[in-house]
Structure 1
Amino acid sequence: MLTETATPGDLPQRELQSLTVQFPSTPRGAQLARRHAVRGMEERGHPPASDVSCAVALVVGELAANAVQHGRVPGRESGLLLALDRAAGLLRVEVADAASAKRLPTAAPSSCPDGESGRGLLLVDVLAVRWGTAPRSPVGKTVWAELRLEI
């Protein structure tokens, strides 16, 4: 489950620490993805109550919940990748799903203050240095966010 060399997304090729997890496309699966992320951050020196770990938990929770709600394809799992690049001081979070027909906005949506939903990508936008989407081969999409290791 743990790989010491990887080249996720568009991070430069260099030694990275990464964690890859497949999770069921269910609300319980999204919760498990968040727990794996927090555990992975703890193994890399960021305790669960640290600012970095809390930010990772929020971002992974939001992206995994969106993958389950908007990208679920029966019989297909979703995937989580965390890639830690200490040299750049960044952590890249990627959540992949199998639904390619639904596209995410390129910017965080504005939300009605009294609305019950719609704030998740606003959180991602605030916590991440940058974020976006990419097509996934052979099918699906990946939503990614890069966070600073020092918040």
Structure 2
Amino acid sequence: MRRYSEAVKADVRRRMGPPQRQSVARISKELGIHLATLYRWRRALRLQGQVVPASQKDPESWGSTDKFTVVVETAGFNATELSGYCRERGLYPEQVGIWRQAAQDANAQPLLTMSDQKDLQKRHQEDQREIKRLQQELRRKEKALAEAAALLLAAKKIQAFWPEDGDD
């Protein structure tokens, strides 16, 4: 296993992070570092709480983990510090504000209690039984309709061969 210097790792970290957000494939091609190594480094950086987007996409396309990391990192910043942080990473303070609000709103809706969950599960099971019953009834009616159509067709064919007008 090849060892890389801290300078190389720092360069990779800089390239992966905002504002450059270079793809792992591009970094691998340019530096000759195996893809698996770069993915392992990126995972380790994320576990350390650093913002390392998965692609070169604009920040609005980042995953929730990266957005939440930015929100946590900037939680105690004043406006000046937030602006500097955003400039370094190619973000806008408004984006961070929207992400912060989304994180706060994520838990705004009350969670279901255990009894509510059981009631929902019971209703779901009842609905499934009703659906099954209705499907069986529909199949039975479709068979009856097909049988009636076949009898009607047979009756029409019989009338075509033996008219009822009594001309014999």
Q: TM-score range by the shorter chain?
A: under 0.3
Greater share of residues in helix: 2
Q: TM-score, normalised by structure 2?
A: 0.23
Larger Rg: 2
Q: TM-score, normalised by structure 1?
A: 0.25
Greater share of residues in strand: 1
Higher relative contact order (CA 8 A, sep 6+): 1
